[in-house]
Structure 1
């Protein structure tokens, strides 16, 4: 009697999509996050997955990821989300999938032509000496710092570093770029809040101000730093991480989709460029995602190869 024994390799991959359940991808309220989410979603749709999008604030997203109501967040910033991520991750229902190569930063920023008017930049001491160059009719003789609409300890930093500046916040984020464009066209000095990655660095040359290096003690211990009587005498953290996170059961439910997410990787320049398609060129989020996918066919095809098979 002939007995035939078949051996099936343990690593055989399930057919894609592994589940008919939709993969729900979070959309936040800024361009790069939305476009990258759309890029990821379109890659999955091309593989046969059902994809849904859910608009959520950065605060509301964590509970829904924790409960498995949403499954993916493609752009988690260290500077604004680290505490919430750690709190929810500790409960065991969210995983950190991998980091992008992009590094994050939020800081005072100026266009490069200002260096001709204020030698010594980007050092903060040079900015301090040149404060009057940045004044306008509402702040003269003090310099004007154009702040974002968010609550940040800018006034405390100005006091601690004894800088002759007045904070002038805008009402919404896009107003920052209106102010930048006005000054840029006339080559007038301006210093404003900016962040990276951001579309601005794809279209405007400029640099962040280099304040004293950040330390957690800067926020709590007056004795630390250049001013022994005040806190906040330092800059913001540099080289923050940018992560992708997912619902803890995503890998076992959709291994291929999880592998694509793990391999998906953007640099600062890549994020800046794709964001500029929307914020500078007026494309829709979907149009920008489609443009990127068309121009980066080989790269996107390399994402998830190990997990998705042929």
Structure 2
């Protein structure tokens, strides 16, 4: 009798287990939004997330790096990216759009730049700035604590081809790569407090547009030939003998499944257009005011309530 009981129990467990594994999984009913490692993207992703929740659709946020987001977007693991910056993401974005792997949801009004930058007071010590030729002449100003004859350029975790620029233009600089934007701003703040020269990665629109007078280095102007044809520029053997693109676009990207799963969200993202001022303010609320991403999104939404109302007012066929 005991054996019979255990056999029946075993069969019941096996049957129950098989039904669990054979049962098709239900697709998520949440819009999944990536949050990256720069402040404006996180704040504005929360702004858009709040608008989506106002449509009655739940939202989930996932921290993910800019590099890893493309595969997740292609597979529909995340549903859109609200800030695609041309200088750092344009090549990957264009390739995926051309292959039909992601959807181009339009261009913001904002124009962007990502490049080498310094506080304005540095020109008092190196008057030939912002011309790039001044960098080698003034490299001693940018020497770090390490025993090196090279100047130090502080970069972030993102790849802008800075090492290629250094090689192609013969700059006597080394890159000190910092882990995130917070480390960049910490290095910048310390340098400003001591009025010490510093050269670092920056971008615009950003909080520094409002709070710190500074300049981007004037490298040879970017062209597509600079990245592909060695004979094009000053260095006839190497590409990337130019700076990053100035006045680049800022776009929105969507997963291929977004329109089918969440048509109203798809149309909402299409309607949204950020200006330079909007992005600067979003970054400032996080970096200067030190609000959490959600609290910064709340404050930002109050300031730009009229724009939000316009974006949300267009009808949607659910």
The alignment's TM-score, normalised by the length of structure 2, stands at 0.79
CA contact (8 A) 2:87 2:160 kept: no
1:165 match = 173
Could you tell me which of 49, 61, 76 is aligned with 2:69? 61
CA contact (8 A) 1:259 1:303 kept: no
- Where structure 1 has 5 or more consecutive residues not aligned to the other structure, the ranges are 1-19
Matches within 5 A, 1:43-122: 43-92=51-100, 94-122=102-130
2:298 match = 290
* Distance of aligned partners of 1:226 and 1:70 in 2 relative to their CA distance in 1, 3 Å threshold: closer
1:274 match = 282
- Where structure 2 has 5 or more consecutive residues not aligned to the other structure, the ranges are 1-27
Larger radius of gyration between Structure 1 and Structure 2: 2
- Asked if residue 238 in structure 1 is aligned to residue 246 in structure 2, the reply is yes
How many residues are aligned here?
290
1:301 match = 309
> Post-superposition shift, 1:298?
1.3
* Distance of aligned partners of 1:164 and 1:267 in 2 relative to their CA distance in 1, 3 Å threshold: same
CA contact (8 A) 1:72 1:245 kept: yes
> Which range is displaced more, 219-228 or 118-127?
219-228
Q: Distance in 2 between matches of 1:179 and 1:304?
A: 40
Q: Distance in 2 between matches of 1:230 and 1:63?
A: 30
Alpha-carbon RMSD:
2.8
Q: Deviations over 1:206-256 (max 9, x none)?
A: 111010112344345443312334443211222222111223453455444
> Which range is displaced more, 54-63 or 231-240?
54-63
Q: Distance in 2 between matches of 1:153 and 1:68?
A: 29
> Post-superposition shift, 1:29?
3.1
The alignment's TM-score, normalised by the length of structure 1, stands at 0.81
- Asked if residue 224 in structure 1 is aligned to residue 232 in structure 2, the reply is yes
Higher helix share: 2
